[in-house]
Structure 1
Amino acid sequence: MRSELRVSMLQMTSGNRHAVNQQTVTEAAARAAGDGCDLLALPEAAGMMNKDKEDARRQITTEADDPFLLTCQELAARHGIWIQPGSTPVKAKDDRYLNHATLIDPTGAIVARYDKVHLFDVFLEGRPATGESSRYAPGAEAVLVDTPWGPWGLSICYDLRFPHLYRDYSKAGATVLFVPSAFTIPTGRAHWEVLLRARAIENGAWVIAAAQVGDHADGRHTWGHSIIISPWGEVICDLGGETASQHMVTLDIGKVASARQQIPSLKNERDYTFTRVSAQQTAPA
């Protein structure tokens, strides 16, 4: 297993057309290759961020025909790098879409596919309900992919709030956990870093969480703070909450084994039964 993974993380302000995002990732891949990186990591909705239902419908297609993914495949092959394209919307079997993540190897082949399992249906005070499930169908499969740096676990954004997914990945040996995201401002401010650090600490794994940032063409606003966290819970890189940017970090994969040896919580886990008792007092007659 290779001991060092050179990651270029891209923080984006994705537009509502594939073409503008294709240009962004084309420039980012060239920079990543020029820096000698092994992997380029992108955020959720990297391919297109468009809340206009009819406009989006005219553009969204299948994985095989998606122009953004095709560009990522061509760039991976051209530069000889891995690309985790965050996610992009593709057609589902019904009238909805899939929030679709992939992993592309240096030959340009898609070697893993993951559809967002947990959809962002929340009810924040003072804001409209999000209702992601009204447009997107949920995935039903966790995906762990073997790489030269060990197994990598794929997830997307709201999945972050379901720790059992990352626990299962880590019990299966995951060294890196991907959480490409487009967090809202209120949830990002309150929960983003603490949840990501928790996933890294409790599993002793590297966490790579590229994120969307700023004001988008479709009117949305995202938190940013793309972040990489070590297996010990240290914030190695935070790209801030202001502008799109790109940064390279070298991950020491050996720190995974070190963290898990020092705090072997994955091995210490035990089965248990669940009992519920009542402590309610009967009112006096």
Structure 2
Amino acid sequence: MKIAVVQLNSSDDINSNLKNICDEIQEHSSCDLICFPENSIFMRSRKDQKIAAVLDEELTPVSSLAKEYGVGVLLGSVARGAGKPKSTTIYINEDGDLSEVYSKVHMFDVKISGDRVYQESDDFTSGTEPKVLSLDGWKWGLNICFDLRFSEQQLQYYKKKVDVLFFPSAFTVATGRAHWEVLLRSRAIEGQCFVVAPAQVGDHGEGRKTWGHSMVIDPWGRILNEIDGGVPGAFEVQLERELLDQARAQIPMYH
């Protein structure tokens, strides 16, 4: 399975974000799937900005390109639903059909020494359960950002024998520098599966900075490709089922 992983510096300008997403779809249209990070459509630049649900019609440019090029698109998280929305992963298939496939379970409610306070539950409603997405015979275990830290959710995916864990994220610089890579590699090794982690990067206003370092990790814990933390970018990588089989044969665990 050939995928593209995209690192963005999203803003509160939905049209600008959509243009960047559409440009990346055109650039990587030969892939089977193009993966985008958390908050790909909208990332607020001020704490007092209201987070409004993204409507289907606002995603029409993305679904039209998916259909035109016959490529799947995973939008890491988009605000969806009436009232207080959910942070939801959107899958758009090669026919341009849109579906909500997972809503973030664990809200980022933290106070980090030397960093700002985050209270995601003020703006979003939690999802209720892990979800598996089947794509071309590959089973993807879906997460969003802070879900990465919760091993009990990942264990549910391991027991379901997923082939890929998906972690679209917007890690802060403070938490990313300390924990991002080690957590991702641990999940790949524990689950004997690929980890795909597209991330936000850079300055988003009012001192909020994200870590970047989007990466794909194989079932042995090796980083197959990574984008530096400084700027947006993208890469393509082939997920080889042979690597899954090798890791699982050498150290039988869930399989």
**Superposition TM-score tier, normalisation by shorter sequence:** over 0.9
1:74 matched to 2:68? The reply is: no
SS of residue in 1 equivalent to 2:109: coil
1:61 matched to 2:61? The reply is: no
**Percent identity of the aligned residues?**
36
Alignment partners' CA distance in 2, 1:74 and 1:220: 32
Please give the per-residue CA displacement for 1:206-243, whole angstroms capped at 9, x wherever unaligned.
11000000112565210000010001100011101000
Q: What TM-score, normalized by structure 2, do the two folds share?
A: 0.94
Please give the per-residue CA displacement for 1:37-81, whole angstroms capped at 9, x wherever unaligned.
111110000011015366434xx235434x1x3332222111100
Partner of 2:198: 210
- After superposition, the Cα gap between the structure-2 partners of 1:54 and 1:125, relative to the gap in structure 1 and judged at 3 Å, is closer
Alignment partners' CA distance in 1, 2:60 and 2:205: 23
SS of residue in 1 equivalent to 2:239: strand
Partner of 2:127: 139
Q: Does the CA contact (< 8 Å) of 2:28 and 2:34 recur in 1?
A: yes
1:14 matched to 2:10? The reply is: yes
Gaps of 5+ in 2: none
- After superposition, the Cα gap between the structure-2 partners of 1:112 and 1:72, relative to the gap in structure 1 and judged at 3 Å, is same
Aligned CA RMSD, in angstroms, stands at 1.7
The alignment of Structure 1 onto Structure 2 pairs a total of residues equal to 255
Q: Does the CA contact (< 8 Å) of 1:76 and 1:108 recur in 2?
A: yes
In the TM superposition, 1:86-105 aligns within 5 A as: 86-92=76-82, 94=83, 96-105=84-93
In the TM superposition, 1:39-54 aligns within 5 A as: 39-52=33-46
Q: Does the CA contact (< 8 Å) of 2:5 and 2:35 recur in 1?
A: yes
1:127 matched to 2:115? The reply is: yes
How far residue 112 of structure 1 moved from its aligned partner, in angstroms, is 4.7
Partner of 1:270: none
Q: Does the CA contact (< 8 Å) of 1:16 and 1:218 recur in 2?
A: no
Q: Does the CA contact (< 8 Å) of 1:103 and 1:112 recur in 2?
A: yes
1:226 matched to 2:214? The reply is: yes
Gaps of 5+ in 1: 268-285
More strand by share: 2
How far residue 126 of structure 1 moved from its aligned partner, in angstroms, is 2.6
Point out the more displaced range, 147-156 or 229-238: 147-156
State the structure with more CA Rg. Answer: 1
Q: Does the CA contact (< 8 Å) of 1:149 and 1:175 recur in 2?
A: no
In the TM superposition, 1:142-157 aligns within 5 A as: 142-157=130-145
1:160 pairs with 127, 148, 162, which one?
148
Please give the per-residue CA displacement for 1:121-155, whole angstroms capped at 9, x wherever unaligned.
11111333211111111000211022213211111
Q: What TM-score, normalized by structure 1, do the two folds share?
A: 0.84
Alignment partners' CA distance in 2, 1:18 and 1:91: 17
1:23 matched to 2:19? The reply is: yes
Please give the per-residue CA displacement for 1:188-213, whole angstroms capped at 9, x wherever unaligned.
00000000000000001111000000
